[in-house]
Amino acid sequence: SKSEKVGIVGSGLIGRSWSMLFASVGYKVMLYDILPAQVETALKETEKELKSLEKQGLLRGKLNANEQFSCISGTTKLTELVKDAIFIQECIPERLDWKQALYKELDGVLESQTIVSSSTSTFLPSLFTKDLKHQENMLVSHPVNPPYYVPLVEVVPAPWTKKTVVQKTRSLMEEIGQKPVTLSREVEGFALNRIQYAILNEVWSLVDRGILDVKDVDSVMSDGLGMRYAFLGALETAHLNAEGMTNYFERYSKTIHAVSETMPSSPPRMEGKTAESIAKQLEVMVPLDKLQERREYRDKCLTQLSILKKKL
């Protein structure tokens, strides 16, 4: 294991995942939470999960479960957490006022070498790092749930984040086996949600216009596009669908433009009758008391897919 220390602030779902990822390559991980009981629970759950992953042959890294767990400790003091940390991953709930208060508190106790990275899904880093002493060392590293099986991390700098901080964060993400992508600057929704929302807008429109029902529109992704997209992105898919991308543009750019002109010119509000109808159809497919079961199915699928992707 390593001598360098990584701190995790907030030991909920995402904080626990990050701590397992950092421990998988031997970093000294320290977990912190405002609720002391939450740190205890996180440590117990993490030990159980590491052992269960080991049993199933799914443990990441070269160390065994006991060795990985021995890399992880807990604290209820922020000052203890920041001491000698090279990197801190923040994982507190998605509340801007909470994040702003925490970053201000962190700013007062941080050491000059420490990078602070937020797991936020929706807030631009400038919204909670502005005017702080250590703002050059702060940025977003947005994971995708569940991070143990979905490797993408969106690295998003604020306008004042140092280039070297972006580079160090990116190489740290690579080192723990994640797949970082670096945005050149902050933009609402980062990249994953911008693309996801473009899909949701068109899916909404197809149901709203009565062209497909919910089950069939979801099948277009899960049985069609999604099968490819698990392995190749939208651009490489196109490159292979013709004799290279130049040829693809020659063949299809007019068609794509013409079809796109028939798409709604302003985004839907996603409320009213169509919203009710979509929710109703989904609750038939997956009743609300079966959501947890279905999440477990999703995670099982992602586990198998990540095994397949490593094998191919």
- ∠203-141-38 over CA atoms, to 5°? 100
- Shortest reach from residue 245's CB to ligand NAD, in Å: 32
Q: Is residue 135 a contact point for ligand NAD (CB under 6 A)?
A: no
The residue range among 13-21, 199-207, 256-264, 273-281 that interacts with ligand NAD, by the rule CB under 6 A, is 13-21
Measured from the CB atom, the residue of 63 and 88 that comes closer to ligand NAD is 88
Q: DSSP state, 58?
A: -
Taking a C-beta distance cutoff of 8 angstroms, is the pair 262, 271 a contact?
no
Separation CA 89–CA 6 (nearest Å):
8
Q: Is residue 10 a contact point for ligand NAD (CB under 6 A)?
A: yes
Separation CA 49–CA 28 (nearest Å):
18
Q: Is residue 92 a contact point for ligand NAD (CB under 6 A)?
A: yes
Q: If you search the block for the tokens 């433009």, which residue do you land on?
A: 257
Separation CA 100–CA 127 (nearest Å):
8
- ∠191-195-201 over CA atoms, to 5°? 145
Q: Give the interface size with ligand NAD as a residue count (CB under 6 A).
A: 24
Instruction: Report the residue from 25, 30, 33, 114 that binds ligand NAD according to the rule CB under 6 A.
Output: 33
In the region spanning residues 227 to 286, those forming contacts with ligand NAD, defined by CB under 6 A, are none
Measured from the CB atom, the residue of 48 and 280 that comes closer to ligand NAD is 48
Instruction: Report the residue from 145, 201, 237, 277 that binds ligand NAD according to the rule CB under 6 A.
Output: 145
Q: Is residue 15 a contact point for ligand NAD (CB under 6 A)?
A: yes
The residue range among 45-53, 94-102, 157-165, 215-223 that interacts with ligand NAD, by the rule CB under 6 A, is 94-102
Tell how strand 152-157 and strand 179-182 pair up: parallel
Sequence-ordered list of residues with C-beta below 8 angstroms from that of 279, at least 6 positions apart, any chain: none
Measured from the CB atom, the residue of 40 and 84 that comes closer to ligand NAD is 40
Q: Is residue 14 a contact point for ligand NAD (CB under 6 A)?
A: yes
Q: How far are the Cα atoms of 200, 234, 237, 308 from residue 231, in angstroms, in the given order?
A: 21, 10, 9, 10
Taking a C-beta distance cutoff of 8 angstroms, is the pair 237, 229 a contact?
yes
Helices (H) and strands (E) in the chain, counts: 14, 8
The residue range among 115-123, 129-137, 235-243, 275-283 that interacts with ligand NAD, by the rule CB under 6 A, is 115-123
Q: Is residue 13 a contact point for ligand NAD (CB under 6 A)?
A: yes
H or E element that contains 60 = none
Q: Is residue 141 a contact point for ligand NAD (CB under 6 A)?
A: no
Q: Is residue 226 a contact point for ligand NAD (CB under 6 A)?
A: no
Q: If you search the block for the tokens 């740290």, which residue do you land on?
A: 172
Q: Is residue 45 a contact point for ligand NAD (CB under 6 A)?
A: no
Q: Is residue 119 a contact point for ligand NAD (CB under 6 A)?
A: yes
- Shortest reach from residue 277's CB to ligand NAD, in Å: 26
- Contact residues toward ligand NAD (CB under 6 A) are 9-15, 32-35, 38, 91-94, 98, 102, 119-121, 142-143, 145
